[in-house]
Amino acid sequence: MYTDTSDAPEPIALRLEAVSKSYRTGTARVPALREVSLSVPAGTFTAVMGPSGSGKSTLLQCAAGLDTPDSGRVLLGSTDLSRLRRRTLPAFRRDHVGFVFQSYNLLPQLSVARNVILPLLLGGRSVEQDWLQYVLEAVGLTGLEERKPQELSGGQQQRAAIARALITRPDAVFADEPTGALDSAAARQVLDLLRHTVTDLGQTVVMVTHDPAAACSADNVLFLADGQLDGSMANASVRDITERVAYLGER
């Protein structure tokens, strides 16, 4: 062996460099993110926690290219999102980013299978049947492919949305409170599924959650307070996270 890779940095799936974002409300500007810098290693599960209004959704939307920072840079995989043109960003997102919303956002008129493969169809890409079957099986929806979303439970709909997020093998999957509308049993299944996509498929997942029990499925928990990063924890217990959340922003 000619190269010693033991000191090689782990590959980074997502990097934010001094990302700031504010919203205009009337004449005032509300800062939502203030110079947030962070790195997410590829193949890890990251949870983002913080009080309501601390900037969690804005952080996820900027990281996923659904929103544009006022300043700073977002690098996803090997792509600097700020260098993409406004017109090419939607196609980049469709091919490289998976996004899971609290409200599933499945198209009601399409079957589960059509919903799952939609990003491929829209991108003019062919459907690898083996991968589709694998993904449907991984999310536990084999046999339910031809149902319409309203013929599924909330938990099943969210698992279909996760399958849709995985189908393109994206650089990262972003999930904003994916268990927020689910009962605790369905929430547990969705969290186990996200964990499984990281551990077994090597997927990178970034999830916003209010729930310490959900956050402890993650490898790392990032804490946001008032638009700024306020520390992180690795492999934390529910108890550690619950205690930490109680003191957020009290610096």
Ligand X SMILES: Nc1ncnc2c1ncn2[C@@H]1O[C@H](COP(=O)(O)OP(=O)(O)O)[C@@H](O)[C@H]1O
Under the rule (CB under 6 A), what is the footprint of ligand X?
23, 25, 30, 32, 50, 52-58
Question: Measured between alpha carbons, how far is 28 from 34 in angstroms, rounded to an integer?
Answer: 16
Among 44, 57, 156, 220, binds Mg ion (CB under 5 A): 57
Tokens describing residue 234: 């690795």
Q: Are 50 and 215 in contact (CB under 8 A)?
A: no
Q: What does 30 bind: ligand X, Mg ion, none (CB cut-off 5 to 8 Å by kind)?
A: ligand X
Q: What does 155 bind: Mg ion, ligand X, none (CB cut-off 5 to 8 Å by kind)?
A: none
Nearer to ligand X, 21 or 159 (CB): 21
Rounded least distance, CB 243 to Mg ion, Å: 22
HSE-up (13 A, CA, CB side) for residue 167: 29
Nearer to Mg ion, 102 or 189 (CB): 102
Nearer to ligand X, 54 or 115 (CB): 54
Nearer to Mg ion, 56 or 244 (CB): 56
Tokens describing residue 221: 């928990």
| Torsion angle of C-alpha atoms 85, 163, 99, 17, degrees rounded to 10 | -80
Specify the amino acid at residue 234: A
Rounded least distance, CB 56 to Mg ion, Å: 5
Rounded least distance, CB 18 to Mg ion, Å: 22
Q: Which residue has the tokens 């659904």?
A: 66
Q: What does 50 bind: Mg ion, ligand X, none (CB cut-off 5 to 8 Å by kind)?
A: ligand X
Q: Are 170 and 135 in contact (CB under 8 A)?
A: no
